[in-house]
């Protein structure tokens, strides 16, 4: 077992998740919008598997600080949600946004709504031989609600909502991400991964410590660890083993509170892991900022967190020193077909990521770490694999 790193998040007096005051003063602004929603993520490693991001979108205020950790499977402390939990929360929130908006537009009443999303991932091969690869399988979405609409009608409604969801634009196409690589302050050839042809934005490293908590009206705690329930697996050997043949299962369940804020639980069911509760909300225009992180922010943060986990895993498995690693990641999604009133599904662009590494092993190791991290990242696998969400409906009258 690799020695545990310091628990920096556990020793941080600030809230784990908070709206960021004056993000523009930090230099954090979203990229120019292409399709309706643009998201910029600044991400940095802390210690071990602990990471933090600052996220800004074109949807409106506020920007958010989010954190992530891993559980015992990856020698973490569960001080923040696992990366796949962020992704699941963002996905199910996005589906819920479109379902509620579409039902309203069609005059359909949905009572006691509960959406359950099951995401499945695979990891196979050897890290040392360079054959390890992460994969993504089709998600499964289940609706439970009370409605005058019959099961077939509800199934059609959910299908249309999924089609209208911005996150579905990432899933339904095969999108190959592009990167830049800067090692020890010098940009160079990223190696085997596709190169992003744009200039590198400034390395955000020094800006994280300047992030302050905004005085926005939010529902705290935005995210919290819940008692761990029974799972469908007792573990499969650990995420830090050199050779793997494993299947992961994440379940997210979304309901809507009386104030309209979505309450989501995300549980790592295989291998047995933590259960976190997330709150999610969408900005409603000037003067009405989101009361919790929006769906696109959770999705973008999840991709960045998962990618960074792979850097930490690869360095641990190969016993190489990777002192710090940071990202500037841009995600371009459409507006919601129903919630954004576009009436169309819209398109997404490949994820664009600028990688900044500090390592005594030089640029060649940086190239290898980047290639293996992209290759083993579950959520980059989601982007590069065309996936169709499977739908199940349980109607109550």
Q: Does residue 10 or residue 184 have the better pLDDT?
A: 184
The long-range contacts involving 187-191, CB below 8 angstroms and separated by at least 24 positions, are 188/363, 188/366, 188/367, 189/367, 190/355, 190/367, 190/370, 191/367, 191/368, 191/370, 191/371
Average pLDDT of 157-176?
Answer: 96
pLDDT of 75 strictly over 70 = yes
What lies within 8 Å, CB to CB, of 223 at 6+ separation is: 16, 17, 66, 80, 81, 276, 277, 278, 279
Kindly report the CATH class assigned to 9-396.
alpha beta
Scanning the structure block, which residue is given the tokens 């819209």?
346
pLDDT of 47 strictly over 60 = yes
Q: Give residue 345's pLDDT band: very low, low, confident or very high (50, 70, 90).
A: confident
pLDDT of 225 strictly over 60 = yes
Range in 160-174, 237-251, 328-342 with the lowest mean pLDDT: 237-251
Q: Which residues of 17-29 are buried (b: 16+ CB within 10 A; e: fewer)?
A: bbbbbebeebebe
How wide is the angle at C-alpha 140 spanned by C-alphas 222 and 307, nearest 5°? 55
Using one digit for the tens of pLDDT, what is the confidence trace for 95-144? 999 999 999 999 999 999 999 999 999 999 999 999 999 999 999 999 99
pLDDT of 198 strictly over 90 = no
Task: Indicate the pTM of the whole model.
Answer: 0.96
Average pLDDT of 266-293?
Answer: 90
Q: Does residue 363 or residue 239 have the better pLDDT?
A: 363
Per-residue confidence (pLDDT) for residue 1, from 0 to 100: 45
Average pLDDT of 197-215?
Answer: 92
Per-residue confidence (pLDDT) for residue 286, from 0 to 100: 61
């Amino acid at each position: 077992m690799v020695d545990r790193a310091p628990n920096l998040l556990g020793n941080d007096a600030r809230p784990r998740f908070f709206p960021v005051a004056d993000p523009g003063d930090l230099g954090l602004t979203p990229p120019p919008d292409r399709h309706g929603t643009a998201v910029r993520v600044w991400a940095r490693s802390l210690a071990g598997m602990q990471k933090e991001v600052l996220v800004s979108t074109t949807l409106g205020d506020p920007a958010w600080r989010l954190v992530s950790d891993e559980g015992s499977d990856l020698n973490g402390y569960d001080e923040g949600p696992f990366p796949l939990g962020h992704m699941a929360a963002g996905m199910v929130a996005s589906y819920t946004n479109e379902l509620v908006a579409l039902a309203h537009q069609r005059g359909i009443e949905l009572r006691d709504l509960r959406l359950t999303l099951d995401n499945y991932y695979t990891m196979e091969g050897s890290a040392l031989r360079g054959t390890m690869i992460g994969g993504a399988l089709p998600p499964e979405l289940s609706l439970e609600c009370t409605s005058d609409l019959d099961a077939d009608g509800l199934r059609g409604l959910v299908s249309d909502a999924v089609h209208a969801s911005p996150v579905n634009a990432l899933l339904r196409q095969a999108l190959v991400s592009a990167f830049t690589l800067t090692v020890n302050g010098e940009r160079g050839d990223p190696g085997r991964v596709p190169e992003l042809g744009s200039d590198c934005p400034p390395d955000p490293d020094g800006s994280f410590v300047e992030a302050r908590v905004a005085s926005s009206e939010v529902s705290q705690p935005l995210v919290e660890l819940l008692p761990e329930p029974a799972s469908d697996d007792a573990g499969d050997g650990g995420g830090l083993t050199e050779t793997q043949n494993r299947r992961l299962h994440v379940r997210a369940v979304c309901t809507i509170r009386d104030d309209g804020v979505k309450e989501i639980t995300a549980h790592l069911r295989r291998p047995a892991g933590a259960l976190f509760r997330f709150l999610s909300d969408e900005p409603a225009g000037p003067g009405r900022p989101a009361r919790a992180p929006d769906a696109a922010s959770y999705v973008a943060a999840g991709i960045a967190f998962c990618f960074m986990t792979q850097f930490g895993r690869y360095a641990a498995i190969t016993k190489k020193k990777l002192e710090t690693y940071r990202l500037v990641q841009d995600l371009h999604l459409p507006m919601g077909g129903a919630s954004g009133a576009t009436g169309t599904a819209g398109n997404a662009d490949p994820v664009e990521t600028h990688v900044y590494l500090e390592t005594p092993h030089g640029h060649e190791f940086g190239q290898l770490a980047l290639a293996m991290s992209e290759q083993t990242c579950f959520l980059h696998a989601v982007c590069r694999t065309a996936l169709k969400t499977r739908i199940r409906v349980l109607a109550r009258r």
